[in-house]
Chains A and B, each alone.
Chain A
Amino acid sequence: MTDDQDRPASEAHPVTTGNELGYRATDLAAFSAFYTRFIPTLVGFLIWQGAHLTDATELAQDAMTRAWHSWPEIQHPEAWVRTTAGRALVRRVASTTEYPVAEIPERSSLLPADLDIGEWEQRHDILAALRTLPKRQRQVLIWTLNDYTPTEIAEVLRIAPEAVRSNLLKARRKIASQLNVGEEL
């Protein structure tokens, strides 16, 4: 998989972006196209690993915001935001912070105000099946679905390639036994 299609028109004129006075229109064009094309994949990437839709959109927005601020320096935007958002998810899961009911974060601007999140999640039985998988198997599966090889996944997750293959095999078997047959056939 290549990220090259979204590189800015010119890489010879690095300039600080994210400055409300100083953005380059060609950078904005490239970033806008990348954002529009990739944000659904990025949100799906996070949901697949266990993030609630609300959290996934928030983490995806944070990663994209950071990408915009560093846009001229980023060579492979997809990999960059995927890694950034993935690490943020790990940190959030590891955090023991719980939101009191009165302080539940507002939805990100990505989520329409009238979206029934519960109803949306019920449309995808794959999400229920994924919840039966251990975290590592979910990670390996989603990186694979994003066209990463076992060797690349091993490097990202810092595990052995054999562990990647083993987890992938287990994940596929478990998912296949959970999914509803009727909808596919």
Chain B
Amino acid sequence: MTNDSFSADDALEWHLLTKYAALCTDLTDTLDIGAGLREVLIPAQHRTLVTDLGATLDLESGLSAIVPEARPGPALRPDPVIDALRDGSVVGYLKALSLSARWLLRTAMLTTGLEVAYETADRLAVVCGNAYPISPDQEPEDYSDQWVDICLPMFHRWHRSISAAVHSAEVVHELFPAETRDQGAPFRALIGRWRGLTEMAYDVRRQAVVLGEQYERGARDRPELVSEVTEALGGVVFMQARELAATINALNDFVADDLRESGLQKIHLDGLRWSKATSFPPDWLDEIDRDSVHIGNGVFEVQQGNTRTLV
């Protein structure tokens, strides 16, 4: 390349740049840029409209008008409303396990006593918290006479049931190493937490037995027994019942899980929680479809006894 051709190229490039700049300046003055921008923003206007409709319309009422069954019904067991029980750690630990391990744990614990433990603790929470009579047709003043014959056995049943359930979880951990050992940390955390439930049930049962013995030998009269039961046991039993409910609900939580390919056995589906994002083995679907009830937020729960006839 010669110096003359280099200069000619530079001159040409300068000329082109100058012309281009003049063109851009003229376009800036000529084009209706505001109108062009507003045109580009039409989709944004549409999205704003749709978003506002989503916030304005009563979606739940609209859906319920079409399908009344879409309106949430009560769950089998309450979900925690107390902050101390809403920490989600049980669900987190469970979700860290393999699907097979989680299903084994659920099946073992629910069928060996966890549900019985909750039902018993829930009844005791009513008795201890409110000094209600155990039978609806009995007057409150009969409550204390039932302490030894009816209430104490319930405390025993509560402790036995939770012990059996936690023991079954420990058995699962020991007998299925291929499915549980590699999730050691979350498993140990769960077992540790559930052993705490067993210990608490034992402590409460012991206090109940002591109160019964004091009442029987006359160390406490009826009003004192009722007062002591309410003050010493009412709150604790209530919290334990709620924690048992939270544990069962966590074990039943299969929202957004794919249960199709894991070779899971269809045992005890009652209480199972799922959503639209959950996938089931084909042979589970009839029971799932027949027995499930919407309990809120797109979550469904299998409640046997709500059986519908599928046409």
Interface, chain A (partner B; CB < 8 A)? 9-10, 12-13, 15-16, 19, 21-33, 35-36, 39-41, 43-44, 47-48, 57, 61, 64-65, 68, 108-112, 115, 120, 123-124, 126-127, 141-142, 145, 172-173, 175-177, 179, 181, 184-185
Contact = CB atoms under 8 A, between A and B. Distances in A.
Interface string B260-301: 000000000000001110111010011011111110001010
A126 B310 contact: no
Contacts of B34: 181, 185
5 contacts: A9-B280, A108-B65, A176-B42, A184-B37, A184-B38
Interface stretch (B3-11, B17-25, B55-63): B55-63
A9 B260 CA distance: 11
A109 B298 contact: no
Given A22-B310, A44-B53, A109-B65, A39 B59 contact: yes
B67 A23 contact: yes
Contact of B64 (A13, A47, A57, A109): A109
Contacts of A181: 34, 38
Closest 6 CB pairs of A and B: A25-B292, A110-B62, A24-B289, A176-B39, A22-B311, A40-B53
B69 A23 contact: yes
B146 interface: no
B35 interface: yes
Contact of A145 (B46, B57, B65, B309): B46
Residue picked from A19, A21, A40, most chain B C-beta under 10 Å? A40
A32 B62 contact: no
Contacts of B292: 25-26
B51 interface: yes
Contacts of B91: none
Nearest to B36: A176
B41 interface: yes
B60 to A, nearest CB: 8
Interface residues on B, range: 35 or more
Given A61-B66, A175-B39, A109 B53 contact: no
B39 A172 contact: yes
Nearest to A65: B66
B67 A68 contact: yes
Contacts of B288: 25-26
B49 interface: yes
B62 A145 contact: no
Nearest to B63: A35
B130 interface: no
Nearest to B44: A184
Given A9-B280, A21-B309, A26 B59 contact: no
Contacts of A112: 56-58
Nearest to A115: B56
B283 to A, nearest CB: 11
Contacts of A33: 276, 298
B45 interface: yes
Contacts of A9: 276, 278-280, 285
Contacts of B67: 23, 28, 31-32, 68
A40 B62 contact: no
A21 B62 contact: no
A106 to B, nearest CB: 12
B50 A41 contact: yes
A123 B53 CA distance: 11
B149 to A, nearest CB: 43
A48 B48 CA distance: 13
Nearest to A173: B39
A57 B63 CA distance: 12
B58 A111 contact: yes
A124 B45 CA distance: 8
B57 A21 contact: no
A103 to B, nearest CB: 21
A19 B290 CA distance: 13
A23 B42 CA distance: 41
Given A172-B39, A176-B39, A126 B49 contact: yes
Contacts of B65: 61, 108-110
A127 B49 CA distance: 9
A174 to B, nearest CB: 10
B57 A43 contact: yes
